[in-house]
C-alpha cells in the first residue's frame, strides 16, 4: 500500500488564486456542462497558424487538460517507461513547470489506457486520478500533498474494460464514483470477494475518508460498469451530485452521499452488455441520461424525491441522431447539443430544446473520424474533435452554421478522445502525442 505523504503547506497554500468562471478547472468546464464564459476563443487556426505553443506528450491518453490560473494540468501515460504522469505547463509559454510519476502501468486492454481521467483543481490544489486506483493531490505549484491507491483501501476494481472516471471537487471533498460489477471478471481480481458500486468522498487535505456510500443497481454483468463522471448541479438553490450508470440515474446529497432520488431504467430487458460512458448533463431543470448502443436519450425533470416514475421523464428522444454512446452532451445558452456517430461515416450534431426535446436542427458534420470526445463551448462557438484530430467549430444557436474545420492530427489511425478546453482567447487541443495551445 502506498503511504500518504505528509507535507507542510502553511507557506503558500492560501496564496494561490481560487478558480474563476473563465478557468477550465475540471473536465466539463466551470459549470460542469461543457461550457465556459470565456471570451475571444479562437475561431480560425491550423497546425501552423495562431498556435502559441505545442508540447510533446510522453504518451497517449484520453484525459482532457484543465486550466487553473496561469497553469495547465494534464494526466498522461509515459509510454516508454510505462508510468502514469501528472504534468503542469505554463499557460502563456508552454514551459513545463513540473511533473510527477503517480503510478505504474499503461493499460488493461487495447481500447484505452489508465490515463483516461482528467484532473481537477480548486485553484490551490490539483487532483489526479488514474484507472489503476492511484490518486494524488499536489499544490498547483507542484508540491506533493498526499498520494495513495484506493484499490488498496476499498477493494479491487471489478471492470471488464479499463476503469476511468474523473474526480469531482466539492468544497473540501474529492468525490469519486466506482460503479462496478459485484463479482470478479479478470484473473487479477480473484480472491477479492463480492463488491458493491459506491460513491467515495475523501478529504482534499489528507485523503481521509469522509464518506463511502453504496450506490446499488439492478443491472447485470457489464451493464453494471460505468465510465461516466459525476457532476454537481444546483437546482432551486440545492446542490446535488448527479450520477449515471448501472441502468439508472441518481441524485445525491454532496455532504453525505445520501441518495435523494433515482430514475431507471433505460434497460428494462436487463441487457448484460450495456456499459455506460456518457456523463450526465443538466440545464433548465432537466438532467440528461444517455442510454448506450444507439438507444434514446432520457430527459429527467429535476426536483423529485425518492423513486421516480416515467411521469418524471420530460421526454425521450425518438430521432435516431439524438443518441450518444460515448460523448457527453453539452448544455450551452439554453440548449442541449448531442453528438452521434451514425452509420456510413455520418457523424451528427443535434441542437435540442431542453424542456420538450424538440430537435431544432440535426446536421452531419462531414468528418471522417469517429467522435468520442465531448463537445465544449464558449464565446458563441461549439468545439468538436474527432478520432483523427479533425477540429470542427459550429456556431451555437437555433441556426446551424459551420464556422471552421481543420486537421490537427494525428490522422486516419488516430484515437483522439480528449475534449477541447477553453479559456479567454485560448483553446487547448490534445491529440495523441501533442498538446496545442491555440489563440492569437
Question: What's the rounded Cα separation, in Å, for the pair 343 and 363?
Answer: 14
Q: Is residue 19 part of a domain?
A: yes
CB 115 within 8 A of CB 63: yes
- pLDDT for res 12: 36
Assigned domain for 6 exists: no
pLDDT at residue number 3: 36
Q: Is residue 4 part of a domain?
A: no
SS3 (DSSP) at 279: coil
Q: How many residues does the chain have?
A: 440
pLDDT given for residue 18 in this prediction:
62
Check if the beta carbon of residue 274 is closer than 8 Å to that of residue 222.
yes
Burial 250-261 (b: 16+ CB within 10 A, else e): bbbebeebebeb
pLDDT number for residue 19: 62
Q: Are 122 and 18 in contact (CB under 8 A)?
A: yes
Evaluate the omega torsion of the peptide bond into residue 410 and state whether it is cis, within 30 degrees of 0: yes
2-10 own/partner pairs: CB under 8 Å, 24+ apart: 2/134, 2/147, 2/148, 2/149, 2/152, 3/148, 4/146, 4/147, 4/148, 4/206, 4/207, 5/144, 5/145, 5/146, 5/147, 6/146, 6/206, 7/143, 7/144, 7/145, 7/146, 9/139, 9/143, 9/145
Alpha-carbon separation of residue 436 from 182, 297, 339, 368, 433 (angstroms): 41, 33, 23, 21, 10
Which pLDDT score is estimated for 7? Answer: 34
**Which structural domain, as residue segments, surrounds residue 426?**
13-438
Task: Determine the pLDDT at residue 231.
Answer: 98
Profile the chain (440 residues) by mean pLDDT over runs of 10 residues.
Answer: 36 45 91 97 96 97 96 97 98 98 90 95 98 98 98 94 96 98 84 86 98 98 98 96 98 98 97 98 98 97 97 97 97 98 90 98 96 98 98 98 97 94 97 95
Is 1 domain-assigned? no
For residue 187, the model assigns a pLDDT of 80
Domain contains 213: yes
Q: Provide long-range contacts, Cβ within 8 A and 24+ apart, for 407-410.
A: 407/46, 407/47, 408/46, 408/47, 408/434, 408/436, 409/47, 409/434
Q: What is the CATH number of the domain that holds 339?
A: 2.130.10.10
Contacts with 296 (C-beta within 8 Å, 6 or more apart), sequence order: 266, 316, 317, 318, 322, 323
Q: Count of domains in the chain?
A: 1
- Any domain includes 400: yes
**Does residue 3 lie within any of the structural domains?**
no
Question: Minimal CA–CA distance to 178: which of 188, 187, 165, 160?
Answer: 165
Predicted TM-score (pTM) of the model is 0.94
Is the CB of residue 403 less than 8 Å from the CB of residue 427?
no
Sheet holding 306-307, edge to edge: 231-235, 238-245, 248-252, 259-263, 306-307
Does the residue 44 lie in any domain?
yes
**What is the pLDDT, as a whole number, of residue 21?**
61
Amino acid at each position: 500500500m502506498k503511504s500518504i505523504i505528509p507535507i507542510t503547506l502553511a507557506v503558500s497554500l492560501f496564496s494561490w488564486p481560487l478558480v474563476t468562471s473563465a478557468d477550465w478547472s475540471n473536465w466539463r468546464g466551470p459549470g460542469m456542462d461543457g461550457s465556459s464564459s470565456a471570451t475571444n476563443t479562437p475561431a480560425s487556426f491550423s497546425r501552423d497558424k495562431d498556435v502559441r505553443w505545442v508540447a510533446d506528450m510522453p504518451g497517449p491518453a484520453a484525459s482532457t487538460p484543465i486550466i487553473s490560473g496561469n497553469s495547465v494540468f494534464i494526466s498522461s501515460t509515459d509510454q516508454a517507461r510505462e508510468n502514469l504522469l501528472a504534468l503542469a505547463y505554463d499557460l502563456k509559454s508552454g514551459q513545463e513547470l513540473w511533473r510527477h510519476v503517480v503510478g505504474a502501468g499503461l493499460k488493461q486492454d487495447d481500447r484505452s489506457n489508465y490515463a483516461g481521467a482528467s484532473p481537477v483543481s480548486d485553484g490551490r490544489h490539483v487532483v489526479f486520478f488514474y484507472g489503476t486506483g492511484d490518486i494524488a493531490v499536489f499544490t498547483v505549484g507542484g508540491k506533493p500533498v498526499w498520494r495513495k491507491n484506493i484499490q488498496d483501501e476499498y477493494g479491487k476494481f471489478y471492470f471488464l474494460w479499463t476503469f476511468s472516471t474523473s474526480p469531482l471537487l466539492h468544497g473540501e471533498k474529492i468525490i469519486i464514483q466506482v460503479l462496478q460489477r459485484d463479482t470478479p471478471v479478470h484473473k487479477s481480481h480473484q480472491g477479492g470477494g463480492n463488491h458493491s458500486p459506491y460513491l467515495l468522498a475523501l478529504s482534499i487535505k489528507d485523503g481521509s475518508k469522509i464518506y463511502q456510500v453504496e450506490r446499488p443497481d439492478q443491472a447485470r454483468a457489464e451493464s453494471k460498469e460505468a465510465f461516466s463522471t459525476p457532476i454537481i448541479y444546483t437546482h432551486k438553490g440545492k446542490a446535488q451530485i448527479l450520477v449515471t450508470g448501472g441502468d439508472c440515474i441518481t441524485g445525491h446529497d454532496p455532504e453525505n452521499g445520501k441518495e435523494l432520488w433515482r430514475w431507471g431504467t433505460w434497460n428494462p430487458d436487463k441487457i448484460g452488455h450495456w456499459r455506460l460512458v456518457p456523463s450526465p448533463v443538466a440545464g433548465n431543470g432537466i438532467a440528461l441520461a444517455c442510454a448506450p448502443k444507439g438507444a434514446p436519450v432520457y430527459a429527467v425533470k429535476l426536483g423529485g424525491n425518492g423513486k421516480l416514475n416515467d411521469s418524471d421523464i420530460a421526454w425521450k428522444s425518438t430521432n435516431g441522431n439524438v443518441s450518444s454512446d460515448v460523448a457527453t452532451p453539452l448544455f450551452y445558452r439554453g440548449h442541449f447539443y448531442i453528438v452521434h456517430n451514425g452509420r456510413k461515416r455520418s457523424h451528427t450534431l443535434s441542437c435540442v430544446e431542453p424542456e420538450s426535446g424538440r430537435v431544432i436542427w440535426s446536421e452531419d458534420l462531414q468528418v471522417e473520424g469517429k467522435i468520442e470526445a465531448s463537445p465544449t463551448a464558449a464565446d458563441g462557438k461549439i468545439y468538436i474533435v474527432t478520432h483523427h484530430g479533425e477540429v470542427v467549430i459550429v456556431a451555437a444557436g437555433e441556426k446551424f452554421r459551420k464556422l471552421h474545420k481543420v486537421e490537427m492530427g494525428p490522422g486516419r489511425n488516430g484515437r483522439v478522445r480528449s475534449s477541447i478546453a477553453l479559456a479567454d482567447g485560448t483553446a487547448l487541443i490534445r491529440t495523441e502525442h501533442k498538446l496545442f495551445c491555440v489563440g492569437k
